[in-house]
Amino acid sequence: MKLLEKLSKDRIKEGEIIEIENSTNNFLPSYLGYFFVALSISDNDFLTMSIIYFIIVLFVFYSQTNYFNPFLLILGYKFYKIKTKGGLSLLLISKKEFKKSDEVIIEKVYRINNSTYIDTQKSEV
């Protein structure tokens, strides 16, 4: 979290977001699947386990779900798929609770990559 200050900063202006969807629960089945794969590998089969986890890492990396970190859930972050007026689909990681697209106004977000942003400001509850 301390390294976020080194990322480039951006902002989400009023009216820029046309659609928002909470995707926090969309990633849970994937991580449960990884857990059950781990349970099914016998203790002495290190080669099979290594190959399976290498393939899983490739799938996670290329599906861009690698930014979904269960540790962020523990810290209170939520994951949102947002669509902008320009037609871009982005992943927003924030502690704030958003229900409607017009509620998304964030003065400072950090750009992790071209399609993933994190908001570190606390929720105004």
The DSSP letter of residue 101 is: G
Give SS3 for 44.
Answer: coil
123: pLDDT confidence band, cut at 50, 70 and 90?
Answer: low
Per domain, the residue ranges of the chain are 2-24+72-118, 28-62
User: Would you call 55 exposed, middle or buried from its count of C-beta atoms within 10 A (0-12, 13-18, 19+)?
Assistant: exposed
pLDDT digit string, tens, across residues 31-63: 677 777 777 777 777 787 788 778 877 776 666
Predicted local confidence at residue 99, as pLDDT:
84
For the chain, list the strands marked E by DSSP: 8-12, 17-22, 78-84, 89-94, 106-113, 116-118
- Segment 81-93 mean pLDDT: 88
Predicted local confidence at residue 67, as pLDDT:
61
66 pLDDT more than 60:
no
pTM for this structure? 0.69
CA atoms of 60 and 99, how far apart (whole Å): 28
